[in-house]
Amino acid sequence: MRAKNPIIIFCALAIFFINSAVFADVSLPPPQSSEGMGVFEALKKRSSVHGGDMGTGKVSLGELSTILWAASGLNRGEKGWTVPMANGLPPYVTVHVAADDGVFRYDWKAHALVELSKENVKGKVASQSFVGRASYVLVFSTDPEGLKALRDQSAAEEFACVLVGAMTQDVYLAAAALKLGTRYIHSMKLDAIQEALGLPEGARPIAVMPVAK
């Protein structure tokens, strides 16, 4: 067998290491799971922040960790989540996070953020400009691979919407408990989301939620 060109091997390795160094996963601190505001008080306080009141303060990584865990984190071993899924499947809706310093996918298994780009797309994903002022903007999209595992394929999109309802309500309650502002947003810029998040074919964005302080 002919030896491979060492220049090609060197270039491939260089590209591999440069990419690994550029895109780094972010470990999230453990979410808050005790103390603080109780669920009944959070239910009383749950509301959507008005666009004009969207704060520009910095939401901490710890607060974001709690919000993401509430949305679709593990709460009982390796097969129990904060939200109910059809057939007990793992989450078939993906949560992306648009931040000042880039775009990330929430990895519920590792409770970590997987960096996808270094671009600030907060102001691009929704039609209403106040969304871009928030510290973080969450985007909820269907995961076509995850949906394939559903027994009833004719109900897949419906089940995904039910899941987004549960996830976003959990975000509302966690935000209320942490005294953060949020709002369910349907007025999305679908093409911009597709481009910014690099969603797989067949994935459909369902909602956006700014998380602000």
Ligand X SMILES: Cc1cc2nc3c(=O)[nH]c(=O)nc-3n(C[C@H](O)[C@H](O)[C@H](O)COP(=O)(O)O)c2cc1C
If the CB atoms of residues 45 and 111 are measured against ligand X, the closer one turns out to be: 45
Which stretch, 13-21, 62-70, 97-105, 181-189, contacts ligand X (CB under 6 A)? 181-189
Q: Which residues, 6+ apart, have CB-to-CB distance to 86 below 8 Å?
A: 150, 151, 152, 155, 159, 162
Backbone angles phi, psi at 61, to 5 degrees: -65, -35
Task: Please tell me whether residue 48 binds ligand X under the rule CB under 6 A.
Answer: yes
C-beta of 167: minimal distance to ligand X in Å?
13
CA 194 to centroid of chain Cα atoms: 14
Task: Kindly give the interhelix angle for 156-178 and 61-72, rounded to the nearest 10 degrees.
Answer: 140
> Given candidates 186, 190, 195, 202, which one binds ligand X under the rule CB under 6 A?
186
Pair 181, 98: CB distance under 8 Å: no
C-beta of 176: minimal distance to ligand X in Å?
11
Pair 124, 189: CB distance under 8 Å: yes
User: From CA 166, how far away is CA 35, in angstroms rounded?
Assistant: 22
> Given candidates 60, 117, 120, 128, which one binds ligand X under the rule CB under 6 A?
128
C-beta of 183: minimal distance to ligand X in Å?
5
> Given candidates 5, 19, 20, 187, which one binds ligand X under the rule CB under 6 A?
187
C-beta of 189: minimal distance to ligand X in Å?
11
List contacts with ligand X (CB under 6 A).
47-48, 128, 183-187
